[in-house]
Amino acid sequence: MDILGISAFYHDSAATLVRDGEIIAAAQEERFTRKKHDNQFPSNAVEYCLQARDISADRLDYVVFYEKPLLKFERLLETYIGYAPRGFRQFLMGMPLWLRLKLHLPREMDRALHNKYKGRYIFTEHHESHAASAFFPSPFGEAAILTMDGVGEWATGSFGTGRGNKIELTHVMQFPHSLGLLYSAFTYFTGFRVNSGEYKMMGLAPYGEPKYYDLIMEKLIDLKEDGSFRLDMSYLPYCHKTVMTGSKFEKLFGGRLRRPESPLTQREMDIAASIQAVTEEIMMRAARYVHHQTGMKNLVLAGGVALNCVGNGRILREGPFDNIWIQPAAGDAGGALGAALLVWYQLLGNERKVDGRDKQQGSLLGPAYSNKQICRFLDSLGARYHSYADDGQLIDKVAELIDQEKVIGWFQGRMEFGPRALGNRSIIGDARSEKMQSVMNRKIKFRESFRPFAPCVLREDVNSYFEMRNEEDSPYMLLVAPVQKGKRLPLDVPLESLKGLDKLKVKRSVVPAITHVDYSARIQTVDRQRHPKLHRLMSRFKEKTDCSVIINTSFNIRGEPIVCSPEHAYRCFMGTNMDVLVMENQLLYKDEQPQAKQHEIDEYKAQFELD
Ligand SMILES: [Fe+2]
């Protein structure tokens, strides 16, 4: 039985194909259209899913959409009526899209499936889809479920339990009170883009002090012991305006919002640190309450807030649960997967077997390209490359190049599903290098200099480098943990003397490129089973250097979706200062290629709107 899951029209459209409960394929539309967070109907992703199973749409048994458009429309209408006559402009702006697309979804889906699908369409609820995406692929037979995001139809957060093949959400929190939207309001205020800059604000937080924590708690939010809260909407005009913060908010924080791309000041860093601390407090209270109410040992998480890996790390280290599992595509893209699994298990009542391993398959669920396809593409360009018949020789060479501080595009196997590159569409480099953080930010990714990089660490060595509780796994890069004290270095200047971005200038550990200014790191553990080739590469690197850690950042530049095909990878390689590109068993050196001219690099960068 083939079930197609779809999410679309909000942000991060995606499609998934589930066959007899097994995840066959999943991908975000942005990877194909090259438009970051593309929210159009995911026609390309659907096409890919059908190809992956080699079927046409008439063979699909069910098509399921990840939320209920009518309920969402009702929320929009009621919010408008609640604030009328204010908000008329915002209401009018949203209407054409609703009338044209969202209220006629079956028609839209018919068209995308070339009128071949004759079955019925199923619509699941937004938070049910998140919950299903968290529980069903998890390794647990039973678990507490916690979802938190911006907003779905009405719900902004929910909790309940999953047992066997059933989930049940018993509690919901409703719009406009939303942790996701609160975090986004601060993202907006600190001059980053809503729905994509949240990650940047989280990365900025360690440069500041949580000076505004009490102010936020006192004025903006009425937080209960159980983690639920009410926001004072007079500070947050997002219900009736197209902005997220207004003059009252500015007055409270003693100044105007930061214009995007203008210099960052200590104030933004302190504000980021404060809202991050508030968010962690809410996540911790919610986790404790859910534990208390459900009595479960395991917790699963999804919804955009579950991408707050600093908060996740705290729940794991300080929280009451024995184990946690987080859906890697925790945002709305993952809703497509949850919706499809919900149909298979909950609606159709199929048995769910657990064997201690998750069913996400390393989240490597996107397209793959063979050596033959890659060579054909490179030949068509006249690119110079070296093909390695033997994996061992290739790996030996790449390990040597990392040791020489080369920046390497690493393109292998199936593309990742979810926002993180997990070693199949990654740029990798030497974590021991002092210059690498700045080189990668400025010359490769063309992004803000304050942004930290994440490490890949050999699974078996995680505890020698990081303080992970119980040597926990973090295969999806969703947990932040401190660098082990034994790997830290004495500072050559007193810590108190460092303010703001000056904190960057100090070497803090034996792996400085991935040690954030507060000694934290967003960890991906690499194991032999999920990532055999990367594991081999890192093991070889360790043999050479005695270091089990490398940098792993997504294969893209600022504003660009992660690369999908060899063509995208080659263009990104040529459009940046990357030294080496490895695609399956082909290795390319930049200095052997016809040099890309500066204007071509500029044109490449100009294609992607800054995020
Ligand atoms: Fe969501």
The 10s digit of each residue's pLDDT in 500-551 is: 888 888 899 999 999 999 999 999 999 999 999 999 999 999 999 999 999 9
Structure tokens given for 368: 């793959």
Distances (CA, A) of 149 to 87, 180, 290, 602: 23, 5, 17, 36
What pLDDT digit, counting tens, does each position of 126-162 carry?
999 999 999 999 999 999 999 999 998 889 999 999 9
Judged by DSSP in three states, 2 sits in strand
Q: Is the dihedral of CA 547, 552, 557, 563 positive or negative?
A: positive
Distance from Cα 273 to the centre of ligand 1, integer Å: 24
Rounded Cα distance between 161 and 169, Å, is 6
**124 pLDDT exceeds 90?**
yes
Q: What is the mean pLDDT of residues 176-191?
A: 95
pLDDT band at 257 (very low <50, low <70, confident <90, very high): very high
- Residue 96 is predicted with a pLDDT of 67
Strands 22-28 and 62-65: unpaired
C-beta separation of 413 from 585 below 8 A: no
How close is the Cα of 331 to the center of ligand 1, in Å? Answer: 6
CA of 509 to the centre of ligand 1 (A): 37
Share of the chain above pLDDT 70, in %: 98
- The alpha carbon of 152 and the centre of ligand 1 are apart by a number of angstroms equal to 5
- Joined together, the tokens standing for residue 347 give 């609606």
**pLDDT tens-digit map of 462-472:** 999 999 887 78
- 305 Cα–ligand 1 center, Å: 9
Predicted local confidence at residue 424, as pLDDT: 98
The pLDDT score that the predictor gives to residue 191 is: 95
Mean pLDDT in residue range 320-326 = 96
Q: Under a CB-based contact definition with an 8 Å cutoff, are residues 351 and 165 in contact?
A: yes
Distance (angstroms) between ligand 1 centre and the Cα of 515 equals 30
Work out the percent of the chain whose per-residue pLDDT is above 90: 79
Q: How far is the CA of 21 from the centre of ligand 1 (A)?
A: 22
* DSSP β-bridge partners for residue 482: 520
Q: What is the pLDDT of residue 419?
A: 96
Give the span between the Cα atoms of 572 and 592, in whole angstroms: 16
Closest CA to 399 of 559, 551, 540, 195: 540
Kindly give the interhelix angle for 333-342 and 126-135, rounded to the nearest 10 degrees: 80
Cite the DSSP H helix spans in 448-531. Answer: 462-465
CA distances, 89 to each of 95, 193, 240, 570 (Å): 10, 21, 8, 44
Q: How far is the CA of 129 from the centre of ligand 1 (A)?
A: 9
If you average pLDDT over residues 7-29, what whole number do you get?
95
DSSP, collapsed to helix, strand or coil, labels residue 427 as strand
User: pLDDT at residue 47 above 90?
Assistant: yes
* Predicted pLDDT at 580: 97
pLDDT of 73 reads 76
Ligand 1 center from residue 9 Cα (angstroms): 12
Backbone angles phi, psi at 41, to 5 degrees: -55, 130
CA 318 to ligand 1 center in whole angstroms: 26
pLDDT at 70 exceeding the cut of 80: no
pLDDT at position 399: 98
Ligand 1 midpoint to CA 346 (Å): 20
DSSP letter at 597 equals P
Distance 7 CA to ligand 1 centre (A): 10
Q: How far is the CA of 541 from the centre of ligand 1 (A)?
A: 39
Residue 470: the pLDDT is 72
Answer yes or no: is pLDDT of 203 > 80: yes
pLDDT band at residue 241, thresholds of 50, 70 and 90? confident
How remote is the CA of residue 332 from the centroid of ligand 1, in Å? 5
pLDDT value at 591 more than 80: yes
Digit-coded pLDDT (tens) for 230-239? 999 999 988 8
In total, the chain counts a number of residues equal to 611
Tell me if residue 21 falls in helix, strand or coil. coil
Residue 90 pLDDT more than 80? no
CA of 195 to the centre of ligand 1 (A): 11
Residue 386 has pLDDT above 80, yes or no: yes
Q: How many CA atoms lie within 13 A of 566 on its CB side?
A: 23
Radius of gyration of the chain (CA): 23
The kind and range of the H/E element at 88 are: helix 88-100
**pLDDT at residue 132, as a whole number:** 98
Supply 245's token pair.
């913060």
For the chain, what is the mean pLDDT?
A: 93
Distance CA 420, CA 562 (A): 9
Ligand 1 center from residue 302 Cα (angstroms): 8
Measure the CA dihedral 510/516/520/525, to 10°: -70
Q: What is the pLDDT of residues 487-508, one digit of tens each?
A: 999 887 877 788 888 888 889 9
Instruction: Kindly give the distance from the C-alpha atom of residue 37 to the centroid of ligand 1, in angstroms, as a whole number.
Output: 13
CA of 78 to the centre of ligand 1 (A): 20
Over residues 101-126, the mean pLDDT reads 88
- The two beta strands, 386-387 and 586-589, are antiparallel
Q: How far does the centroid of ligand 1 lie from the alpha carbon of residue 59, in Å? A: 29
Nearest to 336 by CA among 14, 11, 32: 14
Whole-structure pTM value: 0.94
Res 196 pLDDT > 90: no
Q: Are 206 and 518 in contact, with CB atoms under 8 Å apart?
A: yes
User: 509: which DSSP letter?
Assistant: B
- Give the helix/strand (H/E) hosting 286: helix 266-294
For residue 130, the CA-to-ligand 1 centroid distance in Å is 7
pLDDT of residue 464: 95
Determine the distance separating the centroid of ligand 1 and the alpha carbon of 298, expressed in angstroms. 22
Least confident of 219-223, 409-413, 436-440, 546-550: 436-440
Q: Is 55 helix (H, G, I), strand (E, B) or coil?
A: coil
pLDDT of residue 513: 94
- Between 88-100 and 69-83, two packed helices, what is the crossing angle to 10 degrees? 160
Distance, CA 468 to ligand 1 centroid (Å)? Answer: 28
C-alpha 603 – ligand 1 centre gap (Å): 34
> Which residues have beta carbons under 5 A from ligand 1 (an ion)?
149, 332
pLDDT tens digits, one per residue of 168-178: 999 999 999 99
Confidence of residue 71 (pLDDT cuts 50, 70, 90): confident
pLDDT over 80 at 84, yes or no? no
The answer to whether residue 98 scores a pLDDT higher than 80 is no
